[in-house]
Amino acid sequence: MSTNKEQFHNAAYGSNETNPYCPASDTGRADSCADEKRPDDDATFKETLNAFKNVYAQKKAEVEALSEVMAAETELVKKSLVVTALSLLASFTFACCCWLVINVALGIALHHAGLHFAWSSLVLIIINGCLAAFAFTVAKNAYKHLTFMPIVRAFIGKAGVEEDVH
């Protein structure tokens, strides 16, 4: 049994015969299968120009919206940098004061315990060195979690879009 497609391709029609695969056609020609066209059906130059103007206006609005998002993200980053810097400065100052008080108290305790000042200084240097190495390791590991991806997503136009993570 042959399919309709095979029948269509194997059929031989003349210009005066009716095409059974195009029942609306009086002539049987392929271009007659379409509905009758009127000159009004074609887009005019004015309609085409208006369509291009609309596309341009939409793209311009999209770029303006993207620039607003980028500006907002940049403002947010600026503010967060200022807040972070001030918080870091305050934390650092407080930590230094506490650190000095603890070191002075440990030095006095070691001196009252009868240790020579050279040994008590060496003990404090070792304790401070170990704690500084630990703080450096923590800071190095925390650096991995910093990201500028919100700015990158805003720049590529995907701000606020949740990524599908599987």
Higher pLDDT, 40 or 109: 109
- pLDDT, residue 145, reads 72
Q: What is the mean pLDDT of the chain?
A: 79
* Mean pLDDT of all residues in 129-147: 86
**C-alpha 117, offset from chain centre:** 58
pLDDT interval class at 156 (50, 70, 90):
confident
pLDDT per position as a tens digit, 66-125:
899 889 988 998 999 999 999 999 999 999 999 999 999 999 999 999 989 899 999 999
- pLDDT, residue 48, reads 86
Which ranges of the chain would DSSP assign to H, the alpha helix? 4-10, 45-112, 117-143, 149-155
